[in-house]
Amino acid sequence: MKHLFLILTFSLGQYIIAQTSPELNSAEILLGMKKLNTVGSVLYVAAHPDDENTRLLGYLAKEKNFRTGYLSLTRGDGGQNLIGKEQGEALGLIRTQELLAARRTDGAEQFFTRANDFGFSKNPEETFTIWNRDSILADVVLTIRRFKPDVIICRFPTTGEGGHGHHTASAILAMEAFDLAADPTKFPEQLKEVEVWQAKRIFWNTFNFGGNNTTSEDQLKLDVGSYNPLLGLNYGEVAANSRSMHKSQGFGSAKQRGENIEYFKLLKGESAGKDLFEGVNSSWKRIATTANLGDLINESISTFDPQHPEKSVSKLDNIYTLLQKLDEKDPNTRYWKKIKLAACQELIMQCAGLWMEAYASEYSSVPGNEINISAQIIARNPSNVTLKSISFIGQTDKKLDLQLTNNKLETIDQKEVLTKSTPYSAPYWLVDPHTVGMYTVNNPSLIGVPENQAAKSVIYHLNIDGIDFNVERGLVFKATDPVKGEVYRPFEILPPATITISDQVFVFNAITPKEVSFVVKANAANIKGTVKVNVPAGWKITIANPLINLVKKGDEQIVKAILTPDKTGKDGQLQASVSIDGTDYAKSITRIEYDHIPYQFILSDATAKIVFLDLKKTGNKIGYIPGAGDNVPACLTQIGYDVTLLTDELLAKEDLSIYSSIVTGVRAYNTNDRMPIYFDKLMAYVHQGGNLIVQYNTNNRIAPMETKIGPYPFTISRDRVTDDNATVEFTNPKHPVLNTPNVITQKDFEGWVQERGIYFATELDSHYETVFSMNDPNEKPSKGSLIIAKHGKGNFVYTGLVFFRELPAGIPGAYRLFVNLLSLPKN
């Protein structure tokens, strides 16, 4: 039932936050009826959030009315973040929700594999050295067997024109899975849950963007720019609304209107000359025993009264009854019976004006504690609806036999005690440790599922015009915000207390003690306990008062400790926990709150990395101009710098000469449209003896870099080195940046994470010096990762080296090199 509800929320296109109740207008109900009469499906396959063709997905889902799905191999964890500081797992969580918001807009469904986006990859060979190829292939096969697409469409080809190694890998895996999904000898363990499936054909959706035109007039063509009067939009507008949900990637899109041709190249399967679905019977006649179902649905469509949708309930009841009688011996019939019963049920409820919601009095609780639940229901159109009973969180069945009165809201309150074995809430793919290339999912039924089901649910047992229905609603919390109005968040199950460490990495450049703070938050009342901290050998932790006493739920207490290294201390992990009644609770919580997605959080082990650096530094006062969001300022503070965030006001008024160096955050020139205003002031600062260090910016067809950055011309390219172990050649070994105040050696490039650098400089003016040369395998060396120019008494630096990843990860060599940039001597 849970999975059926998930299907409905996507296929009907309702924007749902945190499992609240769908509310469809008459146009959306009529669209749902049309979709009910289409028995066909199509699966789109690519690698990342944002790879999907939202215009085509919207057209297939809402114009052709096919069940439409998008399989993204990854959740986008390895990308950059335009709206905040989240990286890695947290960014993947944001992009998962952005994809789900996009699917609610264009009407398709969303799926994933266990592949982790480890960052840019230049070819599929490299990709498959990091991903477990067989496991990801199995996930693609499983998705095909579950979804049973008549047609599969790849966004990218197997021949590399997609540029990214993940892109090419997605096509390679889709092509293999096209055949293997039909082979019962391949991944036979899946056949306990699903049947084999052979799609009719697989296409490549060719493209013309980025200067790469792979379309051809001899390819199959489809105009997807049509206008849908029920939506009041054409599919270029639907696509823009959908794509603009990818806010963390800065993919807000303009709405396109009028004809829009998509091109398709057949890769495998039966040929098709004029239509993607040639030879696919998408009517109910594909299931021989149901020939008259189509006629009944057409009748319900032709007689639908948008002013009185309740008049359609009886016809939909007849359709539902016929669907129930379908023979389940044939797997294809069984599949469509399940899908269409769920869709028909939702249409019946929407025509009856039914709305149901279950919410808790607080947004979280703890295993073993009592929760107060309010289950509400209303039938807003005249209809014959009886609420027979309600099942509360799988523990209590309350019999009611309540005949609903038209437009009267009914509220049923219930107290329940969560069992002590209730698991904590957490994204299922983040519960267990994972590798760089693949998430760990121990429950096979969860593989591919886009997000967690609600932590707890309430099931309404209804009778509508003589037919029994079970309707599930996830438990939520709702409140009224004075600015945003009614807001929802998922109901959370948490440990009695969480302990969050003040920093993820503690970097020491001397044996001077450093204060560490632990924030303990009570998720229940009357929490008493003791903070415990473990550190590696060679480190000493002293807690003046480890006792906590939190009276009210939500109370917080800060516990401070002194962490002291000695010269024998090894880099390692600090581990924190709260001991309560003999049990240690060692989870921290990271919350993610943006207006365009539901509340999200990650419950992870309360650990922090501790690093002892051999580091010398000069200067002290640093100005930092924020960009798209990074943690570099906090990292510089860790090693003793006095960092000031330079707001617009400070940049406009402040005497910049007080700063020994100024650093711009990642993509500052892409995201701050006032940077050109400060160009002359920043160049004057350099000329008078300051150091200006500009971290990477992007330059592409979507956002070309037209702003001057340095005192002399250079171009930002798309060159990068993705191998985090790539050899770095020192081409200018006597340059001060490699010698003052720290001598940089090859050892300083050990242990880097994800990549060496991105968006390197090219087409350099002769004033610029380079110090490094590096390249990925089988590529030409690039010298543009770090460029330095003397300008007057000072220095200008542009660097694509990924300090924004390496410093938060506690990479010693990255700190030493960055300090040298901050310490460049006056000329």
Averaged pLDDT for residues 58-66:
95
For the segment 506-517, what is each residue's pLDDT rounded down to a tens digit? 998 878 899 999
Taking the C-alpha atoms of residue 787 and residue 805, their distance in angstroms, rounded to an integer, is 19
Question: Taking residues 131-139, what's their average pLDDT?
Answer: 96
Residue indicated by tokens 């009778």: 463
Q: What per-residue confidence (pLDDT) applies to 83?
A: 85
| Residue 270: pLDDT over 60 | yes
Residue 807 is encoded by which pair of tokens?
A: 């410093």
393 vs 531: CA distance, rounded Å: 33
- Average pLDDT over the chain reads 91
Indicate the range of 256-265, 470-479, 494-503 predicted with least confidence. Answer: 256-265
| Residue 206 clears pLDDT 50, i.e. is over it | yes
Q: Three-state SS across 677-703?
A: HHHHHHHHHHHCCCEEEEECCCCCCCC
* Most confident by average pLDDT, 161-165, 608-612, 704-708, 799-803: 799-803
β-pairing, 41-46 vs 67-72, is parallel
Backbone torsions φ then ψ of 534, nearest 5 degrees: -110, 140
The pLDDT of residue 571 is 87
- Looking at residue 208, its pLDDT comes to 84
Res. 263: pLDDT tops 80: yes
756 in Cβ contact with 746 (< 8 Å) = no
Q: Determine the pLDDT at residue 589.
A: 94
Q: Which domains does the chain have, with CATH numbers?
A: 40-277 (3.40.50.10320), 497-612 (2.60.40.2310), 621-822 (3.40.50.880)
Is pLDDT of 268 > 50? yes
- Distance of alpha carbon 576 from alpha carbon 548, whole angstroms: 14
How many Å is the Cα radius of gyration of the chain?
A: 29
701 falls in which pLDDT band (50, 70, 90)? Answer: low
Residues of the chain with pLDDT > 90, as a percent, come to 76
Q: Residue range 734-750: average pLDDT? A: 96
Q: What is the pLDDT of residue 17?
A: 44
Q: Is the pLDDT of residue 336 over 90?
A: yes
Tokens of 598: 């539901």
- Residue 14's pLDDT band, with cuts at 50, 70 and 90, is very low
| 798 phi, psi to nearest 5 deg | -120, 130
Mean pLDDT confidence for 113-132: 91
Distance (Å, rounded) from C-alpha 690 to C-alpha 688? Answer: 6
Q: Answer yes or no: is pLDDT of 632 > 70.
A: yes
Per-residue pLDDT at 12: 34
Please, which pLDDT band fits residue 762 given cuts at 50, 70 and 90?
very high
Token pair in block for residue 671: 């995201």
What per-residue confidence (pLDDT) applies to 286?
A: 87
Is the pLDDT confidence value at 199 over 50?
yes
**629/727: higher pLDDT:** 727
CA distance 135 to 437: 11
Q: What is the pLDDT of residues 770-815, one digit of tens each?
A: 999 999 988 999 999 999 999 999 999 999 999 999 999 999 999 9
Instruction: Name the range with the highest mean pLDDT among 9-18, 208-217, 818-827.
Output: 818-827
**The predicted structure's pLDDT at residue 778:** 87
Region of poorest pLDDT, from 16-20, 67-71, 451-455:
16-20
| Residue 420 pLDDT exceeds 60 | yes
With a cut of 90, say whether residue 423 has pLDDT above it.
yes
Q: What is the pLDDT of residue 704?
A: 66
**Tokens representing residue 154 in the block:** 């790849």
Residue 15 has pLDDT above 80, yes or no: no
HEC sequence for 450-513: CCCCCCCEEEEEEEECCEEEEEEEECEEEEEECCCEEEEEECEECCCEEEEECCCEEEECCCCC
pLDDT category of residue 19 using cuts at 50, 70 and 90: very low
Peptide bond just before 741 cis, omega within 30 deg: yes
Cβ neighbours of residue 87 under 8 Å, at least 6 residues apart? 81, 805, 808
Q: Which tops the pLDDT comparison, 566 or 624?
A: 624
| Cα three-residue angle 728-805-629, rounded to 5 degrees | 135
Cβ(665)–Cβ(627) below 8 Å: yes
CA distance 826 to 720: 30
Helix and strand counts by DSSP (H, E) for the chain: 17, 45
Residue 486: predicted pLDDT: 85
Per-residue confidence (pLDDT) for residue 119, from 0 to 100: 85
Question: How confident is the model over 664-694, as pLDDT tens digits?
Answer: 999 999 889 899 999 999 999 999 999 999 9
pLDDT of residue 484: 86
- Over residues 756-765, the mean pLDDT reads 96
